[in-house]
Amino acid sequence: MIFPKENIKAIVFDYGNTLIEFGPAQIGMCDHGIADAVERLFGPLDRERLRAIRDANRKAIFEGDPPQYRENDLYQITGAMVRDLYGSEPTRAQLDDVLQARMDVFVQSTHAHDNVRQLLGRLGRRYRLAVLSNYPSGDAIRVSLKKVGLSEFFESVVVSADLGFVKPHPITFETILQQMQLSAGQILFVGDNWLADIQGAKRAGMYAALTTEWVPYEHFDRHPNDHQPDFTITHLDQLESYV
């Protein structure tokens, strides 16, 4: 099928592993920063156990029959993590301290290449641009976008933490449509996650492009009845050849 680029009025991007790399190296950096903060407040810990808890929290939002796709509440999961690791109840001030460290290390771990800024500048002259990202802190995504020099390109930034649900939940895509006042058929969604991005966008009626530039840190099995992307790119710069 020929991609109908004449229909497209806006391009909506996922953030991690789409506009920036956010894979095992970055997650490892975040795990290390969180562990440092937790040890400073509560004492020595089993870092492998902390990593296992973090992995389980990431997976839990996609589990269930059917999945509810509820985003993690950072205070709840961080409090549960401390209770699991230390058998004690953290104070609100201690949780605030850990969550600030978590946000700081996330922002520090994110970087954007010059070619991405240049690409968005060119695309922004022809299309409206937005971000729709899964992450349990909207502030962290917005601060990161500003830090890496990308925030100026986007008229709308929607983060799962703002809604309480993660992609592929319909409310995430409905929210970006409402904010941009466009129909689904006028939007191309670009992302790396087979379930959250491709299935979510296609179920919402959007066009969808799969990017395989970086190794995703979440893996989802593909099923015979899954929606297929309208096209696949191995590097973000290839997007221009389609739009």
Using only the alpha carbons of the chain, give its radius of gyration: 18
Residues 119, 195: Cα–Cα separation, whole Å? 26
- 220 has pLDDT over 90: no
Is residue 153 within 8 A of residue 126, CB to CB? The reply is: no
Tell whether 105 and 116 lie within a shared domain: no
Lowest-pLDDT choice from 21-30, 31-40, 184-193, 218-227 = 218-227
Q: What is the dihedral of CA 11, 12, 14, 15, to 10 degrees?
A: 80
What does the pLDDT look like over 86-96, one tens digit per residue?
Answer: 999 999 999 99
Q: What is the pLDDT of residues 4-14, one digit of tens each?
A: 999 999 999 99
77 and 102 together in one domain: yes
Query: Which of 68, 83, 109 is the C-terminal boundary of a domain?
Result: 109
Distances (CA, A) of 188 to 102, 129, 145, 209: 32, 10, 20, 7
What integer pLDDT is reported at residue 217 of this predicted model?
76
Q: What is the largest CA-CA distance in the chain?
A: 59
Q: Which of 81, 109, 137 is the last residue of a domain?
A: 109
